[in-house]
Structure 1
Amino acid sequence: MADATSGPERAPRVQRVPQRFGTIVVVGGGCYGRYYVRQLARAEHAGALAWRELVVVDHDAACQVAALTPEERPSALRLARAEWSEYFAAYLARAAECPDDAREDAIVPSPLMPHLMADWLAERARARWPHRRVATEPLTHPPTVPWQRAGEDGTHYVSFAEWMCPINCIEPARCPHTRGDRTWSLPVALARHGADERAAGRPVEGPFVFHCAHRAFGVGMLDVRDVLAADRAIADRGAATSPAAFLVGTASHCHGALRRIVVD
């Protein structure tokens, strides 16, 4: 009990419970990958994140992540020397065989990477149905967003931002650029777009959106279990319907990349 000479009682210190992951895969070991790995080290030191293994995928064994000092390195860090598509073909195939082992795995995407998850899903469909055509087709009726552009490979890029965003923006509820509430979210908008397409008589399955959400210390991740769920859904619905169209996207609240994968 405090007496007249006592100072104010201190509130008990709140113990942070870390977010726990299995394997975290960082796409690329260059400047972005180095930034993410250093931030993950800080998150681990602060007790915000924990993982079983942290893998950085890069074709260059002398990438910037490889040059990190021991003090900068988080625990259980491993550099996988491979092309991105090659690595994910093997890694996600193993995860699909043992999904329970990958239920806590996550991927830290690179801002400059191709649509790797859509590439893997399309290759899985080709292997599943070798006598059917699996192709990426343009979005004939793209979603309504402030900025969008069609890429040469069929990827459709969309954004709610018409300005340049900093790479470390965590997309908070209050937008740092507009200084107002962030009233938009691409996963929500894309779900609405898929429903609108079906209502207009343009059948499309999905969308299957892999949401890159902020986890801690400026690092966004998408969950591997969502990619595996999309693979299972494509297998089930593609077997029942021909032709079938699937809308696949990797998106944060503000920016995204879409593919329309068609199986005839």
Structure 2
Amino acid sequence: MIAASGDGRVYGTITIVGGGCYGGYYLRQLQRGRRAGAIDWRRLVVVDRDPDCAVARAARSGADDAEIVVAAWDDYTDAELARAAQRVDAATGAIVPSPLMPHLALSWLERRARDRVGAERVARLPLAVEPPTPWQRAGTDGTHYASYATWTCPVNCVEPVRCPVTRGHRAWSMPDAMRQYVASLPDGARLLGPLVFHCSHRAYGVGMIDVADLLAADSFIARHTASGRAEFLVATVSHCHGALGRLAVG
């Protein structure tokens, strides 16, 4: 289930969201990948609001060598993406999301839109049409969770073409499904986009989304709401699972 290969890229800043058990696992895997020459970076950050999180404790003991930032996830995201937008190497940054985190990308785009047009003109709405996935559930915060798996997946699965649970061919991909979903919506429920953040495997079982995609999505929303109202599908997805949101601006 864990792929040892990497994409060989040199990243700018890699941010691991959360310094608990998942963040610690991703940190160790990235360090393994770096030693093997599968991946590299200029800066590796683990962000957690708890100064005594597991990664911070390991760092104090000398076990890990990442930069620890003590901050709420949203606060860090606001500051880091603002800096990234001003840097020429922004396209080389990436974020390692936690399986248990809120829809970080949707929340950031929502805050950015509120800064531009005012909080009263921005809303996170429930999906008018459910996506055609075997499993789905609407969250209490307006996020809609969807999955092609009706079973419990291994947390370290890299979603190979052959599913490690069913042993069959994985014939689905959530990014493609999101594009098809938007294209199939009826006129009264049209959404722009989709703005897809694909958490794809990069090295040693670690998935990431690219900072460049987040910045491009923010620009897309700004352009399409400069003179009026629009609604967007925002989706952070892997091949098999996704967190979806309908964002209305203007």
**Alignment TM-score, normalising by the size of structure 2:** 0.93
User: Partner of 1:263 in structure 2?
Assistant: 249
**Is 1:106 paired with 2:97?**
no
Instruction: For 1:68, give the aligned amino acid.
Output: A
Superposed displacement of residue 157, structure 1: 0.3
Which residue in 2 is equivalent to 1:175? 163
Q: How far apart, in 2, do the equivalents of 1:93 and 1:195 lie?
A: 32
**Partners in 2 of 1:143 and 1:97 — Cα distance?**
36
Q: Does 1:27 find its partner at 2:17?
A: yes
**Paired-residue identity, %:** 55
Mapped pair 1:138 → 2:129: no
1:132-211 aligned at under 5 Å gives the runs: 133-197=121-185, 200-211=187-198
Q: Summarize deviations over 1:16-50 as a string: whole Å, max 9, x none.
A: 98321000000000000000001111111111010
Inter-partner Cα distance in structure 1 for 2:54 and 2:48: 10
Alignment of 1:220 with 2:204, yes or no, is no
| Aligned equivalent of 2:3 | none
Q: Which residue of 1 aligns with 2:38?
A: 48
> Is the CA contact (8 Å cut-off) linking 1:132 and 1:263 kept in structure 2?
no
Aligned letter for 2:234?
A: V
| C-alpha RMSD of the superposition | 1.6
Q: Which residue of 2 aligns with 1:3?
A: none
Matched residue of 2:225: which SS? Answer: helix
SS at match of 1:191: helix
Partners in 2 of 1:201 and 1:45 — Cα distance?
A: 53
Runs (4+) of structure 1 exceeding 3 A deviation are: 69-72
- Counterpart CA distance in 1 for 2:121 and 2:52 is 40
- Give the secondary-structure state (helix, strand or coil) at the position aligned to 1:26: strand
Which residue of the partner structure matches residue 233 of structure 2? 247
Q: 1:91 is matched with which residue?
A: 80
| Structure 1 portions without partners, runs of 5+ | 1-15
1:158 aligned counterpart, secondary structure: strand
C-alpha distance in structure 2 between counterparts of 1:55 and 1:178, whole Å = 35
Give 1:230's match in structure 2, choosing from 170, 195, 217: 217
Indicate the residue corresponding to 1:6 in structure 2.
none
Q: Which residue of 2 aligns with 1:78?
A: 67
Map Cα deviations across residues 88-117 of structure 1 (whole Å, 9 max, x no partner).
01111222233x221100000000100111
| Alpha-carbon offset, residue 68 of structure 1 | 2.4
2:198 partner amino acid: H
TM-score, normalized by length of structure 1?
Answer: 0.88
CA deviation vs aligned residue, 1:29-84 (integer Å, no higher than 9, x gap):
0000000001111111111010000000001111111222677425xx20000010
Flag the structure with more relative contact order, 1 or 2, with Cα contacts below 8 A and sequence separation at least 6.
Answer: 2
CA contact (8 A) 1:160 1:254 kept: yes
**Larger C-alpha radius of gyration, 1 or 2?**
1
Q: State the Cα distance separating 1:202 from its structure 2 match.
A: 2.7
